[in-house]
Chains A and B, each alone.
Chain A
Amino acid sequence: MAPIDRSFSRRRFLGGSAMAITASALGTPFVRTARAQAATFKAGVITSLSGENILGGNLTKQGYDLWADAINAKGGVEVAGDRFKVEMFYGDDQSSPATGADAAERLIVQNGVDVLFGPYTSGSTIAVQPICQKYQVPMISGSAESPNVWKAKPEFNFGIIPAVDTTSGLSLGVLAKLSKPAAKTVAVISVNEPFSKETGEGFRDGAKAAGLEVVTYELVPPEGDLTPVISKIAALNPDVIAVGGHEEVLLNVVKTSKSLNYRPKALIMHYGITNPAFAQALGADADGTTGVVVWLPTVSYKDDVFGTAKDFAQMAQKKLGGEPDYTAAACAASGLVLGDALKRLGKKPALTPENRVALKDAIAETDIQTFYGPIKFEKDGPHYHDNIQPVPVLVQIQGGKTVAVGPKEAAAADYIYPLPAWK
């Protein structure tokens, strides 16, 4: 039997591979030149496109893309009389902060992006910040809500959503104003895990500013049973119970309160009640629960790119097939900040390293009105570079639907206070 000439086929294979690699390596600079000739601004999005945070990650990506689509439809970002389109690049943090930092580095070094749009989670945002600092590339974060992001004093990162400690704190002020007779006391339940604890601390500190007396601050383990805590609070009988926690705890607070036949005059939770699954799970028992959001399609703000908040919601509805929430809105508003800063900077693409630093300074000076609300970044203090301008909108579940109830300029329905006793 004739032996098979393996060396020949292997040689041909290796030779072919080598040629292919050489050709692609030679080809790459031409591709890059071609892109550079088109003169676009390059923006990199780092977010969770896989892993456990994929739902939220897609929300942020869609928000950033909505702005890119809207601005490109107008011909691009206006700089010194010319318009330049925006090209988007994506990096997946795979729901892990460390991977997010790697993805950011790749976007900066390999794709040569001029600016970054920040991740869905605060954890990833904190991990990406040092990369932005190292390469002196500004980042606009449309999703991060943890105050720890801003406590780190990030020189190159800017946040659109107010940190959760400010929103939860301010929301009690709005609630106190809406309540008749005025609420005087509050009990705070805070789950002992990062985001929830910060929310609870925000409620606790905000209560004092709102003129409410905090009768108890209960830090509960995520595994704990809530009956002892609710029984204790029932004995103290505060007007308001404020809860820092995710959906499951919120659900359990309502169920446990009902099983103990205790209902405060108001029950406020920061996160989760806008998730339709909450009202669906609790049915009629969800009614009356108050929540906090920083944006709703019904707010009265507007800008030149998206129009009114309602126009934005319609555009998002058409493209995404669902009503946008405040994260998608804040991500889209991140683009408005970039567009405004580039216009003021007046430098055409591609930006030099010096121009990127100047862009960072221009972003820091942002003071604009958008469909999302006013945007202006803090220059010092614990919320350094965070936009704490938006006043939180109080929402309440009424008849199974989430409706805005305060402040007055954003309200679509009257606030139900005090809550009726359990049936």
Chain B
Amino acid sequence: MDLFLQTLLNGLLIGGVIATFTIAFQLAFGVLHVIDFAVGGWVVLGGYLGYYITAWLGLDGFIAIPLAFVLFGTLGYLIGPVLYNVRNSRTARPELMALALSFGLFTLLRGGMLTAWGFNTRNVTTTLSGESLAIGPITVPLIRVVAAAFAAAIAGGLFLFLYRTRYGLAIRATAENRHNAALMGVNIGRLSANVYGLYAGITAMAGVLMGAIYSVNPEVGLRYTLFAFFVAVLAGLGSVEGALVAALLLGVIEAFVSTYVGASYSLLAIFTTLFLVLLVSPRGILRRGL
């Protein structure tokens, strides 16, 4: 029973961790209609910022979180229009061109990081690294609780922003119908740049947490891209609230399969779940995807 409860907690916390870097990914897809391969690259960049903040300045890794938002949000804001223009160009298959561009961006980020920072795996230390709380027989890793809380806060914040502000209304209108939104006076180009900046900033913030929970090297980006994509498909592409539910579901599946069946079957279980959900509900688990 103890192991069962611990596994359930592990699963929910893994889900929370995965959710941190998938929520904004969903937002970017909803507005830009681009599956951004570079998501893993933004996560790793955030992780490295966390590492350098701790290793060079001797500060707590958590300080890197707002810095990551400002720094990589700005970078995303600058890159956003390029992606937007490619996605809305009049060439044949602009969606594939945009996919190729984001893949190229990911490759550039990975290669650049390898050249600049090498192969060595780095670690982000925070005041809560390795700290845990014992509740009866269960051990609660605090840094993961922070990540899950972060995911919940981001999801809640985005929800309020999208449904309670005029700008959120404009974003939702753009996601629903770009042309109509433009006719209503929404500056689609600037909005897309803002959304991509917001997405890059949030994802890089999640990267600092990933560096604190796991570790960071330029090669791990692909893993985050894959998981973001798994969650996005399960959630229904573009569905922000679905991302939270899907991430928690995948986390719980991974934890239970790893503990009771065998860790080598965890990816198989995840793929089977994806396949079944796509078969039954192609618009995602909450049927809210695009």
**Residues of the A chain whose Cβ atoms lie less than 8 Å from the Cβ of B143:** 259
Per DSSP, chain A at the interface is helix
B6, B130, B254, B266 — most chain A CB neighbours (10 Å): B130
Interface pairs (29), CB distance under 8 Å: A55-B119, A192-B264, A219-B263, A223-B223, A223-B267, A224-B258, A227-B10, A227-B13, A228-B11, A229-B259, A229-B263, A231-B6, A231-B10, A231-B259, A232-B3, A232-B259, A248-B215, A248-B220, A251-B215, A252-B214, A255-B123, A255-B130, A255-B215, A259-B131, A259-B142, A260-B139, A261-B134, A281-B215, A282-B123
Closest-by-CB residue of A relative to B11 is A228
Per DSSP, chain B at the interface is helix
Instruction: Please tell me if the beta carbons of A227 and B141 are within 8 angstroms of each other in the complex.
Output: yes
**Residues of the B chain whose Cβ atoms lie less than 8 Å from the Cβ of A262:** 139
Q: Would you call B283 an interface residue if the criterion is a C-beta within 8 Å of the partner chain's C-beta atoms?
A: no
The 3 closest A-B pairs by CB, nearest first: A228-B258, A259-B141, A258-B130
**Residues of the B chain whose Cβ atoms lie less than 8 Å from the Cβ of A259:** 129-132, 141-144, 213
Q: Would you call B7 an interface residue if the criterion is a C-beta within 8 Å of the partner chain's C-beta atoms?
A: yes
User: Could you tell me the distance between the alpha carbons of A52 and B110 in the complex, rounded to whole angstroms?
Assistant: 13
Q: Would you call A69 an interface residue if the criterion is a C-beta within 8 Å of the partner chain's C-beta atoms?
A: no
Mark interface residues in A26-57 (1 if CB within 8 Å of B CB, else 0).
00000000000000000000000000100100
User: Could you tell me the distance between the alpha carbons of A285 and B266 in the complex, rounded to whole angstroms?
Assistant: 28
Instruction: Please tell me if the beta carbons of B121 and A225 are within 8 angstroms of each other in the complex.
Output: no
**Residues of the A chain whose Cβ atoms lie less than 8 Å from the Cβ of B227:** 223
**Residues of the B chain whose Cβ atoms lie less than 8 Å from the Cβ of A192:** 264
User: Could you tell me the distance between the alpha carbons of A261 and B223 in the complex, rounded to whole angstroms?
Assistant: 26
A221, A235, A277 — most chain B CB neighbours (10 Å): A221
Instruction: Please tell me if the beta carbons of A220 and B255 are within 8 angstroms of each other in the complex.
Output: no
User: Could you tell me the distance between the alpha carbons of A252 and B7 in the complex, rounded to whole angstroms?
Assistant: 18
User: Could you tell me the distance between the alpha carbons of A305 and B266 in the complex, rounded to whole angstroms?
Assistant: 53
Which residues of chain A from 52 to 80 have a CB within 8 Å of any chain B CB? 52, 55
Closest-by-CB residue of B relative to A258 is B130
Q: Would you call A361 an interface residue if the criterion is a C-beta within 8 Å of the partner chain's C-beta atoms?
A: no
Q: Would you call B14 an interface residue if the criterion is a C-beta within 8 Å of the partner chain's C-beta atoms?
A: yes
Which residues of chain B from 137 to 154 have a CB within 8 Å of any chain A CB? 139, 141-144
Which residues of chain B from 261 to 278 have a CB within 8 Å of any chain A CB? 262-264, 266-267
B11, B17, B142, B258 — most chain A CB neighbours (10 Å): B258
Instruction: Please tell me if the beta carbons of A221 and B266 are within 8 angstroms of each other in the complex.
Output: yes
User: Could you tell me the distance between the alpha carbons of A223 and B270 in the complex, rounded to whole angstroms?
Assistant: 12
Instruction: Please tell me if the beta carbons of A281 and B264 are within 8 angstroms of each other in the complex.
Output: no
User: Could you tell me the distance between the alpha carbons of A222 and B223 in the complex, rounded to whole angstroms?
Assistant: 9
Instruction: Please tell me if the beta carbons of B215 and A252 are within 8 angstroms of each other in the complex.
Output: yes
Q: Would you call B217 an interface residue if the criterion is a C-beta within 8 Å of the partner chain's C-beta atoms?
A: yes
Q: Would you call B108 an interface residue if the criterion is a C-beta within 8 Å of the partner chain's C-beta atoms?
A: no
Q: Would you call B87 an interface residue if the criterion is a C-beta within 8 Å of the partner chain's C-beta atoms?
A: no
Q: Would you call A218 an interface residue if the criterion is a C-beta within 8 Å of the partner chain's C-beta atoms?
A: yes
**Residues of the A chain whose Cβ atoms lie less than 8 Å from the Cβ of B121:** 247-248, 251, 277-278, 281
Closest-by-CB residue of B relative to A216 is B262
Mark interface residues in A362-386 (1 if CB within 8 Å of B CB, else 0).
0000000000000000000000000
**Residues of the A chain whose Cβ atoms lie less than 8 Å from the Cβ of B14:** 225, 227-228
Closest-by-CB residue of B relative to A218 is B263
User: Could you tell me the distance between the alpha carbons of A221 and B257 in the complex, rounded to whole angstroms?
Assistant: 12
Q: Would you call B120 an interface residue if the criterion is a C-beta within 8 Å of the partner chain's C-beta atoms?
A: yes
Q: Would you call A283 an interface residue if the criterion is a C-beta within 8 Å of the partner chain's C-beta atoms?
A: yes
Q: Would you call A135 an interface residue if the criterion is a C-beta within 8 Å of the partner chain's C-beta atoms?
A: no
User: Could you tell me the distance between the alpha carbons of A232 and B259 in the complex, rounded to whole angstroms?
Assistant: 6
Which residues of chain A from 389 to 423 have a CB within 8 Å of any chain B CB? 422
**Residues of the B chain whose Cβ atoms lie less than 8 Å from the Cβ of A261:** 132, 134, 139
Q: Would you call A275 an interface residue if the criterion is a C-beta within 8 Å of the partner chain's C-beta atoms?
A: yes
B6, B125, B256, B263 — most chain A CB neighbours (10 Å): B263
User: Could you tell me the distance between the alpha carbons of A281 and B122 in the complex, rounded to whole angstroms?
Assistant: 5
Q: Would you call B226 an interface residue if the criterion is a C-beta within 8 Å of the partner chain's C-beta atoms?
A: yes
**Residues of the B chain whose Cβ atoms lie less than 8 Å from the Cβ of A220:** 258, 263-264
Closest-by-CB residue of B relative to A260 is B139
**Residues of the A chain whose Cβ atoms lie less than 8 Å from the Cβ of B251:** 225
**Residues of the B chain whose Cβ atoms lie less than 8 Å from the Cβ of A283:** 125
User: Could you tell me the distance between the alpha carbons of A422 and B134 in the complex, rounded to whole angstroms?
Assistant: 14
Q: How far is the CB of B262 from chain A (nearest CB, A)?
A: 7
Pick the contact of A219: B17, B220, B262 (CB < 8 A): B262
Closest-by-CB residue of A relative to B214 is A252
Instruction: Please tell me if the beta carbons of A260 and B263 are within 8 angstroms of each other in the complex.
Output: no
User: Could you tell me the distance between the alpha carbons of A224 and B256 in the complex, rounded to whole angstroms?
Assistant: 13
Q: A248-B215, A259-B130, A282-B123 are in contact. Are A221 and B259 (CB under 8 A)?
A: no
List 5 additional contacts besides A218-B262, A281-B215; criterion CB under 8 Å. Answer: A52-B119, A227-B255, A228-B263, A260-B139, A261-B139
Instruction: Please tell me if the beta carbons of B267 and A224 are within 8 angstroms of each other in the complex.
Output: yes
Closest-by-CB residue of B relative to A248 is B121
Closest-by-CB residue of B relative to A247 is B121
Q: A225-B14, A231-B6, A259-B143 are in contact. Are A247 and B264 (CB under 8 A)?
A: no
**Residues of the B chain whose Cβ atoms lie less than 8 Å from the Cβ of A223:** 223, 226-227, 267
User: Could you tell me the distance between the alpha carbons of A255 and B121 in the complex, rounded to whole angstroms?
Assistant: 13
**Residues of the A chain whose Cβ atoms lie less than 8 Å from the Cβ of B141:** 227, 259-260
Which residues of chain A from 187 to 246 have a CB within 8 Å of any chain B CB? 192, 218-225, 227-229, 231-232, 235
**Residues of the B chain whose Cβ atoms lie less than 8 Å from the Cβ of A235:** 2-3, 6
Closest-by-CB residue of B relative to A277 is B120
User: Could you tell me the distance between the alpha carbons of A71 and B256 in the complex, rounded to whole angstroms?
Assistant: 60
**Residues of the A chain whose Cβ atoms lie less than 8 Å from the Cβ of B7:** 228, 231
User: Could you tell me the distance between the alpha carbons of A153 and B263 in the complex, rounded to whole angstroms?
Assistant: 33
Which residues of chain B from 88 to 144 have a CB within 8 Å of any chain A CB? 119-123, 125, 129-132, 134, 139, 141-144
Which residues of chain A from 270 to 313 have a CB within 8 Å of any chain B CB? 275, 277-278, 281-283, 285
**Residues of the A chain whose Cβ atoms lie less than 8 Å from the Cβ of B226:** 223
**Residues of the B chain whose Cβ atoms lie less than 8 Å from the Cβ of A222:** 223
User: Could you tell me the distance between the alpha carbons of A255 and B141 in the complex, rounded to whole angstroms?
Assistant: 10
Q: How far is the CB of A300 from chain B (nearest CB, A)?
A: 32
**Residues of the A chain whose Cβ atoms lie less than 8 Å from the Cβ of B3:** 231-232, 235
User: Could you tell me the distance between the alpha carbons of A260 and B258 in the complex, rounded to whole angstroms?
Assistant: 16
**Residues of the B chain whose Cβ atoms lie less than 8 Å from the Cβ of A229:** 258-259, 263
**Residues of the B chain whose Cβ atoms lie less than 8 Å from the Cβ of A219:** 262-264
User: Could you tell me the distance between the alpha carbons of A227 and B6 in the complex, rounded to whole angstroms?
Assistant: 10
